Chain A
Amino acid sequence: MKYELWPILLTLKLAVLTTAILILIGIPLGYWLAYTKSRFRSLLETLVSMPLVLPPTVLGFYLLLFFSPGSLPGRLLESWFDLRIVFTFAGLVIGSVIFSLPFMVNPVKAGFQSLPASLSEAAYTLGKSRTETLLRVLLPNIKPSLLSAAVMTFAHTIGEFGVVLMIGGNIPGSTRVASIAIYGEVESLNYASANFYSLILLAISFSVLFALYIADKKTRIGF
């Protein structure tokens, strides 16, 4: 059995993309959840945190049903955008984004909530808009939360298995990420190559987390 690197590369590509998308979604969502008085807040908080308690297979299963070519959303995506989600890399990204959502949103939200309200009030009285206050005052002051959120999202996506398997399957070169490759190798009794992938994942996850804790010893991560 020869060792191939592409499952690892696919995993890294998925983790980088997922983290990037979640930074874009997670900051506005975390900001909204931290400050809103809307009655939908609790509902949304519940939905965001669901992946923490739900078996990944459950989420993957419903995503599979939702996006399958037999369902309405799946059909529409395919006929309008010629986009197929199920058993494709795009599907992996969507699944991972949803599954890692709490790892991004919750620390960002907690970061915003830890800031005194007076900080944004001071900026408002100085004539700064909400957006400018967010970008120039609030975000720089929750840097540790942002960093830990991004790193945890990245590390969590690397370790993802259930959702990815359900929605992506096990297609070499397209959806067979490292965690699934390990499972496949073990099933085929190729322990040596399973060990190869496992060691690399172990090393990546360890280094990423270790770097985070060194970068900010004071940051406590709430997971």
Chain B
Amino acid sequence: MIKARFRKKLNSAKGKMLLDVEFEIGDKEFVSFYGNSGAGKTTVLRLLSGLIVPDEGYLEVDGRVWFDSRRNIDLAPQNRRVGFVFQDHNLFPHMTVRRNVEFALKSAGESDFVDELLEMVRMRGLEHQKPSALSGGQRQRVALARALAARPRLLLLDEPFSSLDAGMRLGLQDEIALIYRKFGITTVFVSHDLPEVFRLSKRIFLLEEGKIIRSGPPEKMFIEDRLSGKFKFVGSVIEVARDSFLNILSVQVGNNIVKVLATGEEAEGIAAGDKVIIASKAFNPIVMKYREEGLS
């Protein structure tokens, strides 16, 4: 159980901003902070990890106080046992994949555990390579294994997929979901990609200009209740082709772009870049076995 309250003045690209958040995260829960860039998502993770200190606040993890500005308690990042996967992998360039993971071990000689982690992120074959020889997705997988090697109490993921292409994103999302199921570590995930947040988290905090404006499970957060269709997808509009009596919306849902017809009434006020919900009540879907071709 995590109880957190942070207040910190930030200098963002848009000027001064006050980050003021208060939240609780249940034991072994997977939560996401979702919001536009500059909303303060990464700052929340850095505050949790102790890499930065709030002006005022309180942080308690599993009954232990990590930070309390009133009592002058500030546990050093070294003693917090958080696994942090950064936006840009941050692997140690002079160490091989295996050495990077071993570096994080609490005690030497856990080579079985290292094997297991490397196996899990599918990096066994490349364990003696240096990070510079790896692709972006592979680096992030190693960073994930390294974070887990320290046996963290809390896993912090800071847009770990942001520099990857769509195929790799999906692969890594699967791995994170798998790791979460296997280790059951309380995980805080930060992203500005809606499908990703939607897919992975149990609860979402919507962050806007340093404040949590809404929170709840993904379905409640983004899909309005009056829709009861069998299919509901959230996607972003890429293009709106308006015709005299019918409109064609190109919508990105996950990695796919779907074209949907919309009546003039429906398409009104929708522009490229908007997030939309596509719902259908069709009961006759075509189901085919999915092949993972082209995905790494």
Contact = CB atoms under 8 A, between A and B. Distances in A.
Contacts of A140: 94
Contacts of A136: 103
Contacts of A128: 78, 103
Contacts of B147: 125-126
A216 interface: no
Contacts of B84: 121-122, 125
A79 interface: no
Interface residues of A, number: 16
A113 interface: no
B92 A137 contact: yes
Contacts of B86: 118, 121-122
B90 A121 contact: yes
A127 interface: yes
A183 interface: no
Q: From B83, B88, B90, name the one whose CB has the most chain A CB atoms within 10 angstroms.
A: B90
A118 B88 contact: yes
Interface in B93-113: 93-94, 103-104, 106
Contacts of B92: 119, 122-123, 137, 141
A35 interface: no
A136 B150 CA distance: 16
Contact of B51 (A116, A119, A124, A127): A124
Contact of A127 (B90, B91, B93, B106): B106
A125 B83 contact: yes
Contact of B104 (A121, A126, A129, A141): A126
Contacts of A119: 90, 92
Given A127-B150, A136-B103, A122 B90 contact: yes
Contacts of A137: 92
B82 interface: yes
A118 B89 CA distance: 9
A126 B94 contact: no
A191 B83 CA distance: 69
Contacts of A125: 49, 51, 77-78, 80, 82-84, 147
Interface string B49-88: 1010000000000000000000000001111111110101
Contacts of B79: 127
B146 interface: yes
A141 B92 CA distance: 8
Interface string A137-155: 1001100000000000000
A122 B94 CA distance: 14
Contact of B93 (A123, A124, A129, A141): A141
Interface in B213-242: none
Nearest to B106: A127
Nearest to A116: B90
Contacts of A121: 51, 77, 84, 86, 90
A1 to B, nearest CB: 52
Contacts, number: 51
A129 B78 CA distance: 7
A155 B86 CA distance: 42
A127 B93 CA distance: 19
A128 B105 CA distance: 10
A127 B94 contact: no
B90 A124 contact: no
A118 B85 CA distance: 11
A124 B83 CA distance: 10
A122 B103 CA distance: 11
Nearest to B88: A118
Interface string A80-116: 0000000000000000000000000000000000001
A67 to B, nearest CB: 42
Contacts of A129: 78
A19 B81 CA distance: 40
Contacts of B91: 122
Contacts of B103: 123, 126, 128, 136
A116 to B, nearest CB: 8
B190 to A, nearest CB: 15
A111 B58 CA distance: 37
Nearest to A139: B94
A122 B89 CA distance: 9
Interface string B103-127: 1101000000000000000000000
B88 A127 contact: no
17 contacts: A118-B86, A118-B90, A121-B51, A122-B90, A122-B91, A124-B51, A124-B78, A125-B51, A125-B78, A125-B82, A125-B83, A126-B104, A126-B147, A127-B104, A128-B103, A137-B92, A140-B94
Given A118-B88, A123-B103, 7 more contacts: A121-B86, A122-B84, A124-B76, A124-B78, A126-B104, A126-B147, A129-B78
